[in-house]
Amino acid sequence: MAQRNNKYDRQLRIWGEHGQTALERARVCVLNCGPTGSEALKNLVLGGIGSFTIVDASEVSVSDLGNNYLVDWESMGQSKAKSVCALLQELNESVVAKFVEESPEALLKSNPTFFAQFTLVIATQMTETHLLKLEEICRQHNVMLVIARSYGLAGLVRISVREHVIIESKPDNRVEDLRLHIPWPELQSYVDEFDIDTPDNNIHKHIPFAILLIKIAEDWKKAHGGKLPANVRLFKEAITARRRVVEEEDNYTEALKSAYIMLFPPGISSQLRAVLEDKAAEVEASSSDFWIMVAALKQFMANEGQGEPPLDGAIPDMHSFTDYYIKLQKIYQARAEADVTAVEGYVARILKRIGRDSSPIPRSTIKLFCKNSRNLRVLRCKMLSDEYSSRSGSELQRLLAAEESRFFFEQFLCSHPALYILLRAVDHFAATYNRFPGAFDGEIEEDVSRLKSLAVGLLNDMGGGGASLPEDVVSEVCRFGASEIHCVASIVGGIASQECIKLLTRQFTPIQGTLIYNAMSATSLVLNV
């Protein structure tokens, strides 16, 4: 156990014990173990997933030895799935490794329920028609699906899940939940104990900035008919006026830095609002724990919360005496605990109402939910079948038009929508001509025009007619010859594995849309078609 914690130390620090446990329970299936599938799986095996099964009928050939690290010379001519499986096992003895020597396409036909046993399926290097079939099966059995494709110097990653709820989205731009603009009674009492104009200079420079901000705002309101300062600049001036020795008063520096929170508190994000207003929050017997807690959250916010979610309870470090800070910290923690208890009460009443009082939700789960309530997210992925038959080509049209006026858009947007269309067009090409464009050197020029007309036709079908596809991108895609280049596969597989981790741990936010990767510019763009 100590060794397991040691081994995973650098990742436990990101997703914690509960995240790691979720990974260790995961049963992952990988379709096709060329470099894309192998690289995606390598990262997951290193991360400690519970088990994996590779589905691939091909044999190890010379070209595999040149682009796939997870095959070796000794396996030449043998099952590629077997070779990759064995070499992956070496990377982590704790993972259960299996393989099936069949083509994913054949398995889809002969035994579709095979996929029901998995938590998540990674489908690599598969074409449209088969992906559509696979998606149907995965949706039917509530199996998460991650699609990854490496194609020459381009790549694609997409997720397909019916509903993915996230408590711990851990956004980068988290704002501190200090509630300085609405101090509750216990906080207010503590604030009242302070005299921020104390003659004692040592105390003066050790009062926590939260106290300073509340006090100074109070004084302002008293002098201005109960109103807060009209802008941050005025508030900062009022703060500076109470400062004594600029170089030494770090607490005042912190107060100035955080002054804006008084006038612009975090509020309720549009994402949270969408979750609260979601139909699934109208819970009944079969509702999941997440939605039951959302329903409880709504009731809390309508009552004790007064429009605010439960208090986070954590506060940033503040330059001050130890015991001032510790006391303040305890006040925040106590309030957060009280909010959790209130929400727990609503949860219990809801469970009773829907007839589920025999299986309560643990307080620890409710506590985690409350602490992260401001950042809840729900993901519902559009089905591929809807995307492929969509008539929303206008979004693509807009992006393609932007390409042409490169003055107005940054270079990194270059060609992603074109690659999206072309990556679909190559599958149509293959369906028509039984090979991918650029497979034969002698026919490249003809293939370019064949591919172009297929792509333009596709764009028209999607309602994006009129937009033009950059000529150079079309011929580049032809030159790719449907090759699977190791470095590109490593990146595409890397991205796919990272998405899997987010889905399995239920932490951080997965891609919403189709990600197109361009190795020529080293950029990516997520398209919502």
Partner 1 sequence: MILKKRKKLLESLQNDFRVLVIGAGGLGCELLKDLALSGFGLIHVIDMDTIDVSNLNRQFLFRIQDVGKPKAEVAAARVMQRVKGVTVVPHFCRIEEKDVSFYQDFQIIVLGLDSIEARSYINSVVCGFLVYEEDGSPDMTTIKPLVDGGTEGFRGHARVIYPGLTPCFHCSLWLFPPQVTFPLCTLAETPRSPAHCIEYAHLIQWGQERQGETFDADNPEHMKWIYDQALKRGAQFNISGITYSLTQGVVKNIVPAIASTNAIVAATCALEILKIATMFSTGMDVYMQYTGTEGIYMRTVPHDKDPNCTMCSAGVPVDVDNTITLQKFIDQLLKDSRFKLKLSKPSVSYHGTNLYMQAPPVLEEMTRPNLQLPLLGLMDGNTSGVLNINDRRLTGVLRVRVTFKEGPDSVDMDTVGGV
Using CB under 8 A as the binding rule, whether residue 515 contacts partner 1 is answered as yes
Applying the rule CB under 8 A, the residues between 78 and 97 that interact with partner 1 are: 90-92
Q: Which of 216, 331, 499, 503 binds partner 1 (CB under 8 A)?
A: 499
User: In this chain, which stretch among 49-57, 76-84, 119-127, 502-510 interacts with partner 1, using CB under 8 A?
Assistant: 502-510
How many chain residues touch partner 1 (CB under 8 A)? 78
* CA gyration radius, the chain: 28
Using CB under 8 A as the binding rule, whether residue 481 contacts partner 1 is answered as yes
Q: CB of 485: closest distance to partner 1 in angstroms?
A: 5
Query: Between residues 365 and 521, which has the closer beta carbon with respect to partner 1?
Result: 521
Using CB under 8 A as the binding rule, whether residue 34 contacts partner 1 is answered as no
Using CB under 8 A as the binding rule, whether residue 468 contacts partner 1 is answered as no
User: In this chain, which stretch among 111-119, 278-286, 319-327, 428-436 interacts with partner 1, using CB under 8 A?
Assistant: 319-327
Assign residue 506 a region (left: φ > 0; alpha: ψ between -120 and 50; beta: otherwise).
left
Using CB under 8 A as the binding rule, whether residue 408 contacts partner 1 is answered as no
Query: Two tokens at 463?
Result: 């309602």
Using CB under 8 A as the binding rule, whether residue 42 contacts partner 1 is answered as yes
Q: Which of 490, 505, 506, 529 binds partner 1 (CB under 8 A)?
A: 490
169 contacts 508 by C-beta, under 8 angstroms: yes
Q: Which letter does DSSP use for residue 474 in this model?
A: H
Q: CB of 527: closest distance to partner 1 in angstroms?
A: 12
Residue 56 corresponds to which amino acid? D
Strands, DSSP E only, in 5-88? 27-31, 51-55
Using CB under 8 A as the binding rule, whether residue 512 contacts partner 1 is answered as yes
Which residues touch 348 (CB under 8 Å, ≥6 apart)? 357, 360
Query: Between residues 193 and 410, which has the closer beta carbon with respect to partner 1?
Result: 410
CA 127-133-137 angle, 5° bins: 135
Using CB under 8 A as the binding rule, whether residue 73 contacts partner 1 is answered as yes
Query: Between residues 56 and 499, which has the closer beta carbon with respect to partner 1?
Result: 499
Applying the rule CB under 8 A, the residues between 163 and 182 that interact with partner 1 are: 169-172
Alpha helices in 90-155 (DSSP H): 104-110, 128-140
Cβ burial of 279 (10 Å; 0-12, 13-18, 19+) is exposed
Using CB under 8 A as the binding rule, whether residue 198 contacts partner 1 is answered as no
How far apart are alpha carbons 520 and 516 in whole angstroms? Answer: 12
Using CB under 8 A as the binding rule, whether residue 471 contacts partner 1 is answered as no
How far apart are alpha carbons 26 and 502 in whole angstroms? Answer: 12
Q: CB of 228: closest distance to partner 1 in angstroms?
A: 29
How far apart are alpha carbons 330 and 332 in whole angstroms? Answer: 5
Q: Which of 19, 34, 37, 47 binds partner 1 (CB under 8 A)?
A: 47
CA 494-499-502 angle, 5° bins: 130
Applying the rule CB under 8 A, the residues between 248 and 277 that interact with partner 1 are: 250
Query: Between residues 343 and 419, which has the closer beta carbon with respect to partner 1?
Result: 419
Applying the rule CB under 8 A, the residues between 345 and 404 that interact with partner 1 are: none
138 contacts 91 by C-beta, under 8 angstroms: no
Q: Which of 54, 488, 503, 527 binds partner 1 (CB under 8 A)?
A: 488
Using CB under 8 A as the binding rule, whether residue 36 contacts partner 1 is answered as no
Using CB under 8 A as the binding rule, whether residue 26 contacts partner 1 is answered as no
Per residue, what are the HEC states of 5-25? HHHCHHHHHHHHHHHHHHHHC
How far apart are alpha carbons 257 and 246 in whole angstroms? Answer: 14
3-state DSSP call for residue 54? strand
Using CB under 8 A as the binding rule, whether residue 149 contacts partner 1 is answered as no
